[in-house]
């Protein structure tokens, strides 16, 4: 496969097989939550806790943060090729819709397919920008999780259970530090491959080559392709706006968690909401179920368990977990559908139609 080629389309039968396979972890997570007394659907009386202003205020704040998330991709792509902003926003909305809808990260290929414009903005070059965005997001949210844990006041003694599940809540801070170090390492590796490509390739071939030289060359080539997404770092007029928008996006996203907590009658403060957001982001970083179902709610409960008494986690926390999952995922679906309606041919990328002409993917963003 050349760097100008998109990956082979996935036959519809394989997509359906993966969707059916994803029901297994989804069912397992439902069983775990039910057995751990962590409600998926809160009791009707719990909804009475939610203030009337919560939903419209949440919608307004979420819309601003989500638009920032879509717009900032333009600065990553501009390092490779300038694409019309509306095209970037539309492709981003459909791509994030696909990621939320499809399990096992199957939706990750949609954004590069929709935005690619050979010969410069190839599928792999576009994938590199998405990879850079993902790594920097993971690093950002890990750091914000550490900040939230530092400034929010947790329970005097963290419980050794979430609901009735024997999961010690103290594992959360350790996991946050580990993830922050891992993603910082990923940023360093990508930076080395971008700024010192020859050295990085030789080093990879010497180390991995001890096992298999062809494998080492393949790994080095793929990392080089992905590292091109960090090209924006060399240009301040692209790097500075992207980094500022990234900080703004995650700060506003934490504010949506805090606003929903206040509206639900839960007192965890802004930094507690920030920490909960971080737990959720790390909890769904490798989604295996459609719509992140199960893992998302379980992560919210884990975040709340650091700040609320156990009985409050399963009572007031149940409506927070429900709305905290249903609102962002539902709104992402709605915006994604609007993006598809604006460009119906985007359905071909979502469907993975193996019979679609190769030129279709190239024309989707035009």
Stretch 107-113: mean pLDDT: 84
User: Is the pLDDT confidence value at 17 over 80?
Assistant: no
Q: Which residue has the tokens 């307004």?
A: 60
* 366 burial level (CB within 10 Å; 0-12, 13-18, 19+): exposed
Angle between helices 123-151 and 269-283 (to 10 degrees): 140
12-26, 45-59, 118-132: which range is least confident on average? Answer: 12-26
- Please give the pLDDT value at position 347: 60
Tens digit of pLDDT for each residue in 329-354? 999 999 999 988 887 766 665 555 43
In the chain, the N- to C-terminal Cα span, in Å, equals 24
User: Is the pLDDT confidence value at 192 over 90?
Assistant: no
- Name the region of 158 (left: φ>0; alpha: ψ -120 to 50; beta: rest): beta
Tens digit of pLDDT for each residue in 221-263? 878 777 777 778 778 888 899 999 999 999 999 999 999 999 9
d(CA 147, CA 325): 23
The H helix count followed by the E strand count for the chain is: 16, 0
d(CA 124, CA 130): 10
d(CA 226, CA 277): 27
Closest Cα to residue 98, out of 10, 25, 176? Answer: 10
SS3 content of the chain, % helix, strand, coil (to 5): 75, 0, 25
- At 278, the pLDDT band (50, 70, 90 cuts) reads very high
Closest Cα to residue 101, out of 285, 332, 340? Answer: 332
pLDDT: which is higher, 326 or 168: 326
- Please give the pLDDT value at position 13: 55
- At 14, the pLDDT band (50, 70, 90 cuts) reads low
- Please give the pLDDT value at position 1: 44
d(CA 322, CA 333): 16
Cβ within 8 Å of residue 109, ≥6 positions away:
6, 7, 127, 349
d(CA 322, CA 316): 10
- Please give the pLDDT value at position 170: 85
User: Is the pLDDT confidence value at 355 over 50?
Assistant: no
- Please give the pLDDT value at position 283: 83
Structure-block tokens of residue 155: 């329970």
Stretch 209-221: mean pLDDT: 85
Q: What angle do CA 171, 270, 267 make, to 5 degrees?
A: 85
Q: Name the DSSP class of 284.
A: T
3-class SS at 102? Answer: coil
Average model confidence (pLDDT) for the chain?
83
Tens digit of pLDDT for each residue in 42-100? 888 888 889 999 999 999 999 999 999 999 999 999 888 899 999 999 999 998 998 88
The CB density around residue 314, as the number of other CB atoms within 10 Å, is 23
d(CA 291, CA 153): 31
For the four alpha carbons of 163, 297, 275 and 174, in that order, the dihedral sign comes to positive
Task: Give whole-number Cα distances, 293 to 100, 290, 322, in Å.
Answer: 9, 6, 11
d(CA 95, CA 111): 5
- At 364, the pLDDT band (50, 70, 90 cuts) reads very low
93-102, 180-189, 205-214: which range is least confident on average? Answer: 180-189
Give kind and range of the element (H or E) at residue 184.
helix 171-195
d(CA 23, CA 103): 9
User: Is the pLDDT confidence value at 285 over 90?
Assistant: no
3-class SS at 162? Answer: strand
Exposure class string for 2-19: b at 16+ Cβ within 10 A, else e: eeeebeebbeeeebeebe
Structure-block tokens of residue 15: 């997509």
CB hemisphere CA count around 312 (13 angstroms): 16
Q: What is the pTM of this model?
A: 0.83
Q: Which residue has the tokens 């010690």?
A: 168
- Please give the pLDDT value at position 61: 97
């Amino acid at each position: 496969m050349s760097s100008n080629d998109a990956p082979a389309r996935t036959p519809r039968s394989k997509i359906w097989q993966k969707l059916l396979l994803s029901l297994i972890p989804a069912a397992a997570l439902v069983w775990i939550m039910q057995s751990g007394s962590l409600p998926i659907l809160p009791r009707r009386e719990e909804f009475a806790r939610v203030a009337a202003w919560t939903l419209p205020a949440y919608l307004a704040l979420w819309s601003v943060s989500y638009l920032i998330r879509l717009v900032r991709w333009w600065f990553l792509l501009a390092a490779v090729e300038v694409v019309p902003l509306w095209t970037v926003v539309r492709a981003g909305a459909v791509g994030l819709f696909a990621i939320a809808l499809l399990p096992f990260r199957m939706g990750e290929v949609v954004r590069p397919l929709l935005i690619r414009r050979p010969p410069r903005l190839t599928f792999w070059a576009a994938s590199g920008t998405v990879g850079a965005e993902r790594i920097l997001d993971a690093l950002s949210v890990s750091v914000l999780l550490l900040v939230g844990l530092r400034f929010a006041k947790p329970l005097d003694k963290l419980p050794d259970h979430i609901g009735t599940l024997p999961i010690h809540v103290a594992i959360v801070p350790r996991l946050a530090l580990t993830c922050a170090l891992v993603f910082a390492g990923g940023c360093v590796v990508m930076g080395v491959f971008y700024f010192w490509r020859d050295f990085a390739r030789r080093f990879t071939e010497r180390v991995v080559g001890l096992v298999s030289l062809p494998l080492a060359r393949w790994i080095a080539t793929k990392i080089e392709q992905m590292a091109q997404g960090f090209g924006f770092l060399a240009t301040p007029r692209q790097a500075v706006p992207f980094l500022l928008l990234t900080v703004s996006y995650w700060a506003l996203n934490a504010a949506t968690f805090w606003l929903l907590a206040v509206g639900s009658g839960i007192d965890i403060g802004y930094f507690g909401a920030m920490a909960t957001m971080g737990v959720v982001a790390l909890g769904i970083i490798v989604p295996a179920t459609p719509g992140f179902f199960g893992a998302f709610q379980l992560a919210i409960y884990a975040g709340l368990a650091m700040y609320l008494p156990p009985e409050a986690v399963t009572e007031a926390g149940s409506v927070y977990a429900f709305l905290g999952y249903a609102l962002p995922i539902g709104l992402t679906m709605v915006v994604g559908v609007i993006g598809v309606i604006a460009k119906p041919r985007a359905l071909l990328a979502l469907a993975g139609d193996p019979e679609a002409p190769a030129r279709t993917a190239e024309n989707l963003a035009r």
